[in-house]
Structure 1
């Protein structure tokens, strides 16, 4: 599954399958500005920081079982990562990395600058499994299709599949390359985004 947060006009946390289907809002009424997300795969729990509420929170992967773990007054919490029973959280306002358990704050490290996100790499959080994409020979992207219980070939931005069963991609005729648009007088102008 793929999880993401939206902290726009209607804040929420959503999920979908890796193909983008089965999209669901799993949390909306309890979030204000959800930012960093991380998953505890061994317990099927989602953890996040909420910068508006100054909180560290968690819920089951379907949004049930919501709980506020910590309220961290006068902070700008952003990134979050898990390792064992520890939560590592970045505080942009004070340039810190803070370490928590579900019950207490353990330690704070001053990093300086504005630490945004944090990632944790650990073999125990990467369970081994057979790679269905190894023999698929997809030209661009390969993801697991939870409906078909098989690997599926996809194309990147600006490309489409040759046909429904194809593993090859071709440039899309409808793709608009990323550009900066601006108006001068009665003209609309643009230049490529990579020229900014």
Structure 2
């Protein structure tokens, strides 16, 4: 059980505002009133203290070392001006609460192209411009971050998506113009530690979705022969699963429990679904929202954003019925992510047993150590060695034991 403290109060992070104990001095018990009066007085004093501490410490919806099981919502990336827009609950239909918060960027011209979330660590990952950033200590309710870190810089000018492996804590991205898919440890701020895991026979990779539990990656290649492919998280075991009747698939999402793959085809104006192997494919709905920039699956609903219509919409994945639609008058939405700590807290990372020097991927065959670009795996299968042309010497990285 995870707890957090503030001013002597101890809170259960898995239960909203639940207080377990308050340290009180022995002198507070030596009160001249009756037992009942003393207890009542202590209770009132205690509740007042709780409220004061909550206000002072900002614990109502802000967390210092991870998300809350009760912190759920949608995070949307807007352009013109650039901002994070969050719904403080995940909408289910038109009667849902659409309370929201906004957080303006310092640069109003920033282009938020893709989002991914790690609520268990209170983090939002954002692909902005040519870089991937990590927003730490993020809160759906306050919609702000106490610090921002640059993870990677140098993505070509395009609309490739990012995705987060919440089991092994790796971030993946598509680079359509460089024609590759790459990854890096999400919490390693060394920009040079990244790995291109897929490049052969790629034309224009854009859409990206991960199933870290079943160890699959899905991506769309919008080249001359558009297709959707499935590979293991290390880029191996590659298989084309959909290759007929596609024009331009920009966004993908997965239902891990039922092993379903969802996508929007911008060229056909369709929202579609298939099994993980491409079978049982069907059109969920024909939609005409212009540029369908992004979508995300969550508990039987597909949430979609349209930059042209400046809207966010929810659709039932079985019937295609539109459950809600909201116009966003604050900017153009290009990215959307679900923020729900409850769905990612129960998985153990197999890479914790590997002690890899640079990178670890939970591949189909199990956890596997890899090395960043410019390095090769050493003979021990864990550490990495590279060649420095400037100094004409070999370099190595050794994992600290």
What TM-score range do you get, normalising by the shorter chain? 0.7 to 0.9
Q: Which residue of 1 aligns with 2:377?
A: 161
Moved over 6 A (4+): none
* Residues 41 and 125, structure 1, Cα contact 8 Å, conserved in 2: no
Are 2:251 and 1:33 aligned?
A: no
1:118 equivalent in alignment to 2:336? yes
5+ residue gaps, structure 2, are 1-215, 390-401
CA apart distance, 1:75: 1.8
The 1:158–1:114 alpha-carbon spacing in structure 2 relative to 1, beyond 3 Å, is farther
Count of aligned pairs: 171
Partner Cα separation in structure 1 for residue 287 and residue 315 of structure 2: 11
CA distance in 1, matches of 2:369, 2:310: 41
Write out per-residue CA displacement over residues 130-177 of structure 1, whole angstroms, 9 at most, x where no aligned residue: 321112111221112323xx31101123322123x4211233569xxx
2:316 corresponds to which residue? 101
Cα offset for 1:125? 3.8
Matches within 5 A, 1:8-157: 8-102=223-317, 103=319, 104-111=321-328, 112-123=330-341, 125-126=343-344, 128-147=346-365, 150-157=366-373
- Cα RMSD of the aligned pairs, angstroms, is 2.0
Shift of 1:124: 5.1
Checking the alignment, whether the CA contact within 8 Å between 1:50 and 1:78 is kept in structure 2 is: no
Cα separation, partners in 2 of 1:89 and 1:74, compared to 1, 3 Å: closer
Structure 1: which 5+ residue stretches go unaligned?
175-196
2-structure distance, mates of 1:155, 1:170: 8
TM-score (norm 1): 0.79
Q: Which moved more, 1:151-160 or 1:19-28?
A: 151-160
Match of 2:37 in 1: none
Q: TM-score, normalised by structure 2?
A: 0.40
For CA contacts below 8 A with separation 6 or more, give which structure has more relative contact order: 2
